[in-house]
Structure 1
Amino acid sequence: MRWDDLFADLQAQFEAAADEHVPMQVAELAEAEIATTMLPDRWRARRGEQLQVRLRDGSDRDGLVSDAAQDWLVLAREARRSLIPRSAVVLARPLGPSAPEPTRVERGLGLGHVLRALAQEHLPVVVHTIAGTYRGRLARVGGDHCDLVDARGVVTIAWSGLVSVESGT
């Protein structure tokens, strides 16, 4: 009889210890998942919803998240579309939890892909940089820069200075 009581007591202690560890394990897993979440993951979760971003030049953009990838975000407000490089975003609100993992296509669509598409369409754009604003048409897109044809000729813009590219304004 004592053996049965002993094993029952051990079993109860084990179950109590396991129950105590479950919340800790859940919390540790949640923290680990949050630590791997990137800002674009949270943008993708806001597709079709309002978002406001403050950019590194101090300006704000807002609109519906119409598209988002690892390196960029597109906000739509009426006819205006703002293509915003990830590197230009300082803060965003409101953001909720992360979206599901990006698809292979979403991971592969870099800033250059979107800029090349704009260049092929010959759309008039307004390019905001940390050095000023330029109006014209994108002519050529390299791996880290783009050429914009404006009224004075061609200006080459390094992506590192890019704040946003807007069309429909």
Structure 2
Amino acid sequence: MRWDALFRDMEAQLAAAAGLAAESEISDRVRMELRGISLQDRLRSQNGKELLLDLGTAGVLRGILRHVGEGWVVLEQDRGAALAVLSHVVAIRGMDRFASRPAGQVRLGVTSALRSIARDRSAVLIRSAGAAAESALHGTIDRVGSDFLELAVVPSDQPRRSTNVTGVYVLPTATVAALLSQQNGWP
């Protein structure tokens, strides 16, 4: 019958409209949820993935994501580890589309991480934001203030001894783009 076709067509149109409305509502909800997700939330869900962090003129870091702090991440590399300050990251490659909500844990800030590295007396290579990766400074962190660190510069092939210190730099922590640790020689 002619009316059967008419009613089937109307039902199909209503079903399509309802489907579009549902899709639109889902898209709106996804956009609303994304608004509350930070880069750190995205990074927390990437733990164990190999990422490439572009630090602009300070170079590129590649490694396995092992830790996400408040404004910083640690990548495990072949020759050690690298701490990157997120405010100096230009782009990240290798992430999937998932994100984790904050777990309510206390997240350490970058100065807390730097103090821990200073206590450990680890030899580090510091790349500064806006400076070429080749101009990185090698040494040990002697002290960390609220917004600065003191780096005793030492040649990369020598241990930290007062006789080997070639200078002491005071670096604002806001200019530190990355710290690299050493395992088997410097990259």
Please give the range of the TM-score, normalised by the shorter of the 2 chains. 0.7 to 0.9
2:45 counterpart residue number: 45
**Where does residue 155 of structure 1 map in the other structure?**
169
Calculate the TM-score normalised by the size of structure 2: 0.74
Structure 1 counterpart of 2:4: none
User: Alpha carbon RMSD of aligned pairs, Å?
Assistant: 2.0
Is 1:144 the counterpart of 2:143 in the alignment? no
Q: Which amino acid aligns with 1:112?
A: T
Q: Determine which structure has the larger strand proportion and give its number.
A: 1
Given that 1:45 and 1:97 are in contact with CA atoms closer than 8 Å, whether structure 2 keeps it comes out as no
Measured after TM superposition, the shift of residue 165 of structure 1 is 0.4
1:165 aligns with 2:179: yes
Residues 17-96 of structure 1: pairs in structure 2 closer than 5 A: 20-57=20-57, 59-96=59-96
TM-fit CA distance, 1:83: 0.3
1:9-20 matches, cutoff 5 A: 20=20
Residues 40/141 of structure 1: CA separation in 2 closer, same or farther (3 Å cut): same
CA shift for structure 1 position 19:
5.4
Q: Where in structure 2 are there 5+ consecutive unaligned residues?
A: 1-10, 154-164
Partner AA of 2:102 in structure 1 = P
Residue identity matched to 1:120: R
SS at match of 1:104: coil
C-alpha contact (below 8 Å) 2:42/2:100 kept by paired residues: no
Give the residue type in structure 2 aligned to 1:66. Answer: R
For 2:69 and 2:123, the matched residues in 1 are separated by: 23
- Residue type of the alignment partner of 2:122: L
Where structure 1 has 5 or more consecutive residues not aligned to the other structure, the ranges are 1-11
**Is the 1:56–1:163 contact (alpha carbons within 8 Å) kept by the matching residues of 2?**
no
One-letter code aligned to 1:122: R
Contact (CA 8 Å) 1:63, 1:75: kept in 2 or not? yes
Following the alignment from structure 1 to structure 2, what is the Cα–Cα distance between the partners of residues 70 and 101? 14
Offset at residue 36 of structure 1 (A) = 2.6
Distance 2:169 2:67 in 1: 27
Contact 2:58/2:127 (8 A) holds in 1: no
Count of aligned positions = 155
Pair 158,48 (structure 1): closer, same or farther in 2 beyond 3 Å: same
Structure 1 residue 125 and structure 2 residue 124: aligned? yes
Q: Deviation per CA, 1:113-169: give whole Å up to 9, x if none.
A: 111110000011111113431111111111221111112232111122111101123
Task: Quote how far apart the aligned CAs of 1:21 are.
Answer: 3.0
